[in-house]
Amino acid sequence: MEPINIVKSVVTPLNRKNVDTDQIISKEFLKRIERTGFGQFVFYHWRFDQDGQPIEDFVLNQPKYKGSKILVAHENFGCGSSREHAPWAILDYGFNVVVAPSFADIFHNNCFKNGILPIELKVSEIEELLAKGEQSVLEAEVNLQNQTLTADGKVYHFEINPYYKEMLLNGWDEIALTFKYEDYIKNYEKKRVQFS
């Protein structure tokens, strides 16, 4: 996993609530057995019409957001299916920060395992970022160490669990970390409740 700390880019405003993982990566693209190559399919049915032509007014198709690494959306981002293909697709497309007022639990967890930083801000702050992002080109800088997002001269502070912060900053493999707790696991297994 790639470590992440400072991310600077233009903000992509996706002004929608309840963006579900079926929209992020549609089921017809789930049949790969690799983790990579999903970026081309991200938000497919919002990006392309039935003939495969780009839908011009969808944000991801607008040239001014090209190369963006920071996606800003509304409440309950990533709800629905547990498919980790959703964060894989987001990351593969080029985003490594997603900012929203709230995230669905499984998606939120999945982000940390893949080096994506999910940032929670207040609804009013999100609305401000979305509005500015839509009106013009909004550059932002995320600093994980300081837990800040700076845009248009304003500093937004965010909270993050220190455990996940550490993981992201170092790009750690969680499984290797857990192996250090092998003794605890063994002890637990000795006294575990078990009937069959």
Partner 1 sequence: MGKNIIEKVWDQHVVYHEDGKPDLLYIDLHLLHEVTSPQAFEGLRLNHRKVRRPDLCFATMDHNVPTKNLPIINDPIAKTQINTLAKNCEEFGVPLADMGHPDQGIVHVIGPQLGLTQPGKTIVCGDSHTSTHGAFGAIAFGIGTSEVEHVLSTQTLWQSKPKTMQIHVKGELGFGVTAKDIILAIIAKFGIDVGTGHIVEFTGDAIHKLSMEERMTICNMSIEAGAKAGLISPDEITVDYIKGRKYAPQGDKFEEAKKYWLSLASDPDATYNKTLVIETSEIEPFVTWGTNPSMGSGVSKTVPYASNYTEESDKQALKKALTYMDLQEGTPLTDIEIQHVFIGSCTNSRLHDLRAAANVIKGKHVHPNVRAIVVPGSHSVKKLAEEEGIDKIFKDAGFEWRESGCSMCLAMNEDVVPAGERCASTSNRNFEGRQGTGARTHLVSPPMAAAAAIAGHFVDVREIMNVPV
Residues binding partner 1 (CB under 8 A): 17-18, 20, 22-23, 26-28, 30-35, 45, 50, 74-76, 79-84, 87, 102-106, 109-110, 113-114, 161-163, 174-175, 178-179, 181, 184-185, 188-189, 192-193, 195-196
Using the minimum distance from each CB to partner 1, give the nearer residue, 38 or 93. 38
Q: How far is the CB of 26 from partner 1 (least distance, A)?
A: 6
E strands, the chain, where?
6-14, 70-73, 97-100, 117-120, 139-143, 148-151, 154-157
> 59 is written with which tokens?
């944000």
CA 1 to chain centre: 14
CB of 112: closest distance to partner 1 in angstroms? 9
Terminal CA-CA length for the chain: 38
Instruction: Give the count of alpha carbons within 13 A of 113, CB side only.
Output: 15
- Is the Cβ of residue 10 or residue 92 nearer to partner 1 in the bound state? 92
Residue holding tokens 């250090």?
A: 180
CA gap 166, 69 in Å, rounded = 21
User: Nearest distance from residue 111's CB to partner 1, in Å?
Assistant: 9
Question: Considering beta carbons, is residue 56 or 183 the nearer one to partner 1?
Answer: 183
User: Is 119 within 8 Å of 67 (Cβ atoms)?
Assistant: no
In the bound state with partner 1, the residue whose beta carbon lies nearer, of 10 and 129, is 129
Least distance (Å) from partner 1 to the CB of residue 159?
13
Nearer to partner 1, 57 or 193 (CB): 193
